[in-house]
Amino acid sequence: MLSCQAAGMGQSTSHQMQLAADFKTGSDAFRSLGAAVPLAVVEEVLLNLPAKEVVLICRLVCLEWKELVDSAAHWRERCRREGIELRDASRPPNDWRLFYFLSKKRRNLLKNPRAEEKLHRWKLVENGGDGWKTEGNCAPLPNDTIDKCFATSYGMCLKEQLIDLKKEGYSPAFMDHLQPAIKISDWYAPRRDCGSFYKICVELLDQKKKPMRTFDPDPVYFEQWNDQQWCPMTHVFKDYGRGVRFIRFTHGGQDTQYWAGWYGIRVINSSVEICPAAER
């Protein structure tokens, strides 16, 4: 079966999954074949099997296969074939396998970050003045086509999301052992004709939702008659210790001239990502 699989790599995924199933059943005959097949052929077979099956099953066949699966070359090649690229080629990862799996899993853990569902999925912590609203963008974001934003009013406006890392697929053992970088980003902008300020606070929480690490910079103030440009806010948590189970993301602000309506800070395109490297 193995030689047939290696000779016809264009065969269906169902054949590849059957190969993994044979590993899982622990067939002695199949395992004895594994030791006799050229490693170059084995490598090609492994590269065409699901990565999770390769780690959990194929890696256990024999020492040679374990060394193949554990090699940086195997995971570099997987990245190349699947179009996973380094953001900074001058800084290759220390662990290519971890880089591969984190890259495949990477996504924004915040829901409705672009106001496409109005205020749905956000908890309104403070809703002062005329409250939060969504509206059209006052100015275009750099290199993006987002046409909506969240707008604040003349009283304090704060909204938050609580991210349950286990529900998002990041187990306690994974977070404690690997402590992957956690990158947060946000975009904020004032109205040109009104002064305002922007506020953000992001907390890494333990199982009881008590803060372990906090990013809480000073508010950013804008004077009236400013250039009305979108500004980025970014931060990377790393080496934060064991026990992180939740992330609480809170942001908002208000205008500083207390005008009725929605003349306060605008926010949009927020994100929280589990990253393969400590990016800035």
Are 133 and 268 part of one and the same domain? Answer: yes
Domain membership of residue 186 (yes or no) is: yes
Give the CATH number for residue 68. 1.20.1280.50
The overall longest dimension of the chain from CA atoms, in Å, is: 79
* Residue with tokens 């106001």, as numbered in its chain: 115
Q: What string of DSSP letters covers 86-132?
A: -SSTTS--S-HHHHHHHHHH----SSSTTSTTTTTT-EEEEE-TT--
Mind listing the pLDDT tens digit for each residue in 197-215?
A: 999 999 999 999 999 999 9
* Residue with tokens 């590993």, as numbered in its chain: 23
Are 71 and 166 part of one and the same domain? Answer: no
| Strands (E) located in the chain | 123-127, 133-136, 148-151, 157-164, 181-189, 196-205, 211-215, 220-222, 231-237, 246-255, 266-275
Range of the domain at 25: 2-105
Return the sign of the alpha-carbon dihedral for residues 55, 58, 62, 66.
Answer: negative
d(CA 30, CA 22): 7
Q: Which pLDDT score is estimated for 21?
A: 54
Helices and strands per DSSP (H, E), number in the chain: 9, 11
Are 75 and 167 part of one and the same domain? Answer: no
d(CA 103, CA 80): 12
Are 82 and 129 part of one and the same domain? Answer: no
Q: Which pLDDT score is estimated for 18?
A: 56
Give the CATH number for residue 225. 2.60.120.260
d(CA 112, CA 269): 9
Crossing angle of helices 72-81 and 39-47, in 10° steps, is 50
- Residue that finishes a domain, picked among 75, 105, 135: 105
pTM: 0.76
Are 88 and 199 part of one and the same domain? Answer: no
Mean pLDDT on 67-94? 85
Are 172 and 226 part of one and the same domain? Answer: yes
Q: How many CB atoms lie within 10 A of CB 251?
A: 25
Domain membership of residue 88 (yes or no) is: yes
Domain membership of residue 156 (yes or no) is: yes
Q: Are 146 and 114 in contact (CB under 8 A)?
A: yes
**Confidence band, pLDDT 50/70/90 cuts, at residue 34:** low
Three-state secondary structure call for residue 265: coil
Are 132 and 92 part of one and the same domain? Answer: no
Query: How many domains is the chain partitioned into structurally?
Result: 2
Mind listing the pLDDT tens digit for each residue in 5-29?
A: 333 334 444 555 555 555 545 445 4
d(CA 25, CA 18): 11
The length of the chain, given as a count of residues: 280
Mind listing the pLDDT tens digit for each residue in 232-252?
A: 999 999 999 999 999 999 999
Q: Is 61 a residue whose pLDDT tops 80? A: yes
- Residue that finishes a domain, picked among 76, 105, 134: 105
